[in-house]
């Protein structure tokens, strides 16, 4: 029996990146949140009250957004 992949909950929208010609900007990307999504993002707040977001453009051409805790990331990177 084939299982269907579980859909991830969406906390915002990332538009396709734009690459303006000339100037200092290499790439810009629009991000949009609904008010309800902003409320839900509070669960990812760090001890200092920050919500850290990473926007990634995949080789397939679509962007995505992820939320991370920098302290947890550092712990994973440590060899001990």
Q: Which residues contact 20 (CB under 8 A, 6 or more apart)?
A: 28
Confidence bin at 80 (pLDDT 50/70/90): very low
pLDDT tens per residue across span 41-72: 898 888 889 888 888 878 777 778 888 777 77
pLDDT tens per residue across span 9-45: 777 777 877 888 887 878 788 888 899 988 988 988 8
Question: 62, 44, 40, 64: which is closest to 54 by C-alpha?
Answer: 64
Which residue has better confidence, 15 or 3?
15
């Amino acid at each position: 029996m084939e299982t269907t992949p579980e859909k991830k909950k969406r906390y915002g929208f990332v538009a396709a990146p734009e690459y303006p010609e000339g100037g200092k900007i290499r790439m810009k990307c629009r991000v949009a949140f609904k008010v309800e999504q902003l409320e839900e993002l509070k669960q990812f707040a760090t001890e200092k009250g920050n919500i850290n977001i990473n926007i990634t453009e995949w080789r397939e051409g679509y962007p995505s957004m992820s939320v991370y805790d920098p302290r947890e990331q550092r712990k994973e990177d440590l060899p001990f």
